[in-house]
Amino acid sequence: MSKGINKPKDNELREDLISILEIKERIKTLDLIRLKELVIYLDKSIQNLLKTITNRGIACPDESFEYTAKNCFQYGYNYYDLISLREFILKRINELEQPLKNTNDNQLEDLPKWFPIGLGFATGEIQEMINKGISASQIAIKRTKKRSNANYVSFTSNNTTDLKNIYSDFDKLELVYNYCIEKDINICNDFMNAYNIKLKELN
């Protein structure tokens, strides 16, 4: 029986949130899956804080919601701080899930047909979709609008010896890697491991 995916502990998520609150740019060091885990954790924290605010409102009916929300804290931050942080993380998630939105049509025409799939592996989005049981054909249609590109998904995911395995082709890896660096797109560990392995083989 599968043991499933190891979920992060609450204290690890809490440390990530505090780090982001201290220095906003740290959010760029986190991959897509961790960001979504942070949103789930934040949702629970906000709900718990709302219960505290509600209970205090019952005990102190003269206090307004705004006053109580500003003076009730979860690991050092009030209700409005957590709401702002949640919106900030969701914005970053949207950037990672739609990395090609801000790229103009001329740039897209210059990219090879497999590139959106390679980029999906780089951000971790495709790995997440595969873990959810979404088929290679469905992923190919979503990323490239063509079912015929499904082999790029399946061969890369299974690390098959084939030209359509993006992880086995350093030129493809390098093209995606350089694009991510140029566009300030966070690269997941899975892709970086594949990139580093191929880089070592060349040296």
- Show me where the domains of the chain are located: 10-97, 105-202
| pLDDT tens, position by position, 120-171 | 999 999 999 999 999 999 999 999 889 999 999 999 999 888 889 999 998 8
pLDDT given for residue 107 in this prediction:
55
Of 24-33, 90-99, 134-143, 172-181, give the lowest mean pLDDT range: 90-99
Are 173 and 121 spatial neighbours (Cβ–Cβ below 8 Å)? no
Q: Summarize the confidence of residues 74-87 as an average pLDDT.
A: 86
pLDDT of 63 above 90? no
Neighbours of 189 (CB within 10 A): 10
Residue 144: how many CB atoms within 10 A of its CB?
A: 19
Q: What is the pLDDT of residue 1?
A: 31
Question: In the predicted model, what is the mean pLDDT of residues 25-35?
Answer: 85
Look at the pTM and tell me if it is higher than 0.75: no
Residues in the chain: 203
